[in-house]
Amino acid sequence: MAPPLFNWGVKDTHRGTPVVVKMENPNWSMVELEGPEEEDLMLTNSPSSGVSRDKGRGKNAKQLTWVLLLKAHRAAGCLTSIAPALLGFVAAVKRRVAAGKTDADTDTDGGRENENPAVKTRFYSCIKLFLCLSVFLLVFEIVAYFKGWYFSAARFQLEHFMWTPSFGVKGFFDWLYARWVFVRVEYLAPPLQFLTNACIVLFLIQSMDRLALCLGCFWIRFKKIKPVPKGGGVLDLESGEEKGFSFSPMVLVQIPMCNEKEVYQQSIAAVCNLDWPKGKLLIQVLDDSDDPATQSLIKEEVQKWQQEGANILYRHRVIRDGYKAGNLKSAMNCSYVKDYEFVAIFDADFQPTPDFLKKTVPHFKDNDDLGLVQARWSFVNRDENLLTRLQNINLSFHFEVEQQVNGIFINFFGFNGTAGVWRIKTLEDAGGWLERTTVEDMDIAVRAHLHGWKFIFLNDVECQCELPESYEAYRKQQHRWHSGPMQLFRLCLPDIIRAKISVWKKFNMIFLFFLLRKLILPFYSFTLFCIILPMTMFVPEAELPAWVVCYIPAAMSFLNILPAPKAFPFIVPYLLFENTMSVTKFNAMISGLFQLGSAYEWVVTKKSGRSSEGDLVSLIEKGPKHQRGSSAPDLEELRKQEQQKASKKKKKHNRIYMKELALAFLLLTASARSLLSAQGIHFYFLLFQGISFLLVGLDLIGEQVD
């Protein structure tokens, strides 16, 4: 059996290379020969070795021959495994093309983006136009190349051929090609070069911002800076002991959910096991499910915990307007909320540890300007597949670098929508939850900051959750996360300008928070690497330096991966995948900025509930404060249900994403064109980036579906 091509993370415990030799005589058995170990090749005349240099010289030569032969055998095995791997890949592509749906098809579960068809068609048509033009120009350039034409014709030669009749010097084709070179030199290259230089400037500004954030994170680690409660009384994270804990105000806990039948049990169980005085804790399960069966299951789970003494309530809205913001707004209007001082919010797939409130709430003591304490996310399925690994890299940088640095130095960052504790007075002062955008968490954070409230981010307090395991779910999530901020920017810009805050805070919010990180980043990423770079292959007079294509992106990817050092082998896939996602982010940014397409559509990210059983077992082993009794789900029954699901797999259809496929062929065409002009690093970047778009377009990343 041929060895695998890629064995990242696999520990090789067998020293030496085994070879199995089969003898022809049936009376003989199979003999396993061990290859020489490193110690055998390091023979010396020292007394400890027991072997003289002269006696070992002949043996070492034979052993070296063995090593070379065995290495050649292993290399041959790797080469033989390439063909089956390619055949398997082609077979997978055929299955996806045969059974997959395009991103233009409607989804039977109603969970896909309801984009404006005219906007979708217009955006897709532009990409197809670039693709068709690039294919035509590639054929044109190949013919010109084999006819002996080159791309650096002199100006006077261009003008000469421009006006020479077709029956003149070298015929009609030569005259036509000269006209094309003249047009691109005079009319196409200057505006393309200007756009290229503008994107390079934006790229450098964004890179400097990223570098400044990394330096700030390094300074925090070097100085060991972290938020400390002013009034004391916080759980010691290192020893696990309480030090003078006496601050226990009234806390309201909210769990907003919508059709979350995969994860509702684990989230409710985790929140009901929070270590907080029973009389000072109220849990609201805010169910917006439109499926009666799911409503019944969640309501039954709440009733079981009520029977065990948990102070928990079930709420279901009859009029389900405003998505999550409307759900939270409705819950805050309850009359009993006025008795509570703080509210903790957890999405349905989040599992706070029992001491979560003891690590977060004490920061509010004697700190009247503090409005929000945000905890960090950790992911139970970060190693599930390549897609979750790449998401973990991105989100680790977001929390450990962006959120932590902004929290330490300017006391402001975007609320992540969950795993945070708010002062209820802050929510009321900011105007409460509003349903005007799909990023209600960022909306309330911006309005609270404009009213002078401060935020704290706790990097050492984690709350487990789940990452999207399929590209379709991740794509919808990213569309909402990048269209919503642009909606909010349009709405909040007048308020930011009129706000009574310092000029520096206004600059930070307008330029850094919104424009640079939410608008400029997806704009230049898509424009520079997916449009300009392929065009410069067909208009080589406009140059894109190699350091823009390779060196700076590689350095930025290295900085991004520092908070997740175990993911270092995935640095190249991460760089390519981030550029691939730029088409989705760019489309979402344009939709949100100009109120187009699905800017107001909220799509709940699908959960797998993959960690439910393990988390329930750990909760039982820890012995929660409220004994579960009859409320504990039967684990045997849970296993049977999983087995039934496995035996009756619902056939899933992987989507075929036409925009990504069109861009894949555009980039691959440009890579072929770059060979004619010996572009070097540009060819490799375009080739691998095109392959990345092809894999994503065929939905060959993320959840593996039979």
Encode 121-167 in three state secondary structure: HHHHHHHHHHHHHHHHHHHHHHHHHHCCCCCCCCHHHHHHHHHCCCC
187 lies in the same domain as 336? no
pLDDT in tens, 609-661: 665 444 444 444 444 444 333 334 444 554 555 555 554 444 555 678 988 99
Copy the structure tokens of residue 571.
Answer: 């640095």
Contacts 24+ apart (CB under 8 A), 292-297: 293/261, 294/259, 294/260, 294/261, 294/264, 297/261, 297/264
Quote the DSSP letter at residue 218.
H
pLDDT in tens, 186-227: 999 999 999 999 999 999 999 999 999 999 999 999 999 999
pLDDT of residue 142: 81
Mean pLDDT in consecutive groups of 10 residues from the start of the chain, 706 residues: 39 44 42 44 46 52 72 70 69 63 51 48 77 84 72 47 49 77 90 95 94 96 92 52 68 93 91 94 93 92 94 90 91 94 95 95 94 96 91 95 95 94 96 92 96 96 93 91 93 93 93 93 92 91 90 90 90 93 92 76 69 45 41 49 51 75 92 82 92 90 61
Range of the domain at 299: 249-468
* Nearest one of 368, 351, 359, 552 to 464, comparing CA atoms: 351
426 lies in the same domain as 533? no
| Within-domain flag for 262 | yes
CA distance 416 to 463: 12
CA distance 299 to 211: 49
382 lies in the same domain as 450? yes
β-bridge partners, 458: 375
Domain boundary (425, 448, 468) is at: 468
| Within-domain flag for 338 | yes
| Within-domain flag for 482 | no
- Neighbouring CB atoms inside 10 A of 89's CB total 13
CA distance 490 to 511: 13
460 lies in the same domain as 357? yes
531 lies in the same domain as 459? no
Domain boundary (443, 468, 493) is at: 468
Catalytic (active-site) positions: 288, 441
CATH of the domain at 427: 3.90.550.10
pLDDT of residue 234: 53
| Within-domain flag for 297 | yes
281 lies in the same domain as 420? yes
pLDDT of residue 645: 52
Backbone angles phi, psi at 465, to 5 degrees: -150, -165
CB 274 within 8 A of CB 356: yes
186 lies in the same domain as 285? no
CB 34 within 8 A of CB 56: no
| Within-domain flag for 589 | yes
The pTM of the full predicted model, rounded to 2 decimals, is 0.78
CA distance 309 to 464: 25
| Within-domain flag for 563 | yes
Of the chain, the end-to-end C-alpha distance in Å amounts to 24
CA distance 251 to 344: 7
| Within-domain flag for 421 | yes
CB 703 within 8 A of CB 475: no
The residue type of 456 is I
180 lies in the same domain as 306? no
CB burial of residue 47 (10 Å; 0-12, 13-18, 19+): exposed
174 lies in the same domain as 291? no
β-bridge partners, 351: 464
Domain boundary (423, 452, 468) is at: 468
| Within-domain flag for 515 | no
CA distance 568 to 552: 17
Q: How many domains does the chain have?
A: 2
CA distance 217 to 229: 21
282 lies in the same domain as 419? yes
455 lies in the same domain as 562? no
CB burial of residue 355 (10 Å; 0-12, 13-18, 19+): middle
169 lies in the same domain as 258? no
For CA atoms 486, 488, 490, 492, give the dihedral sign: negative
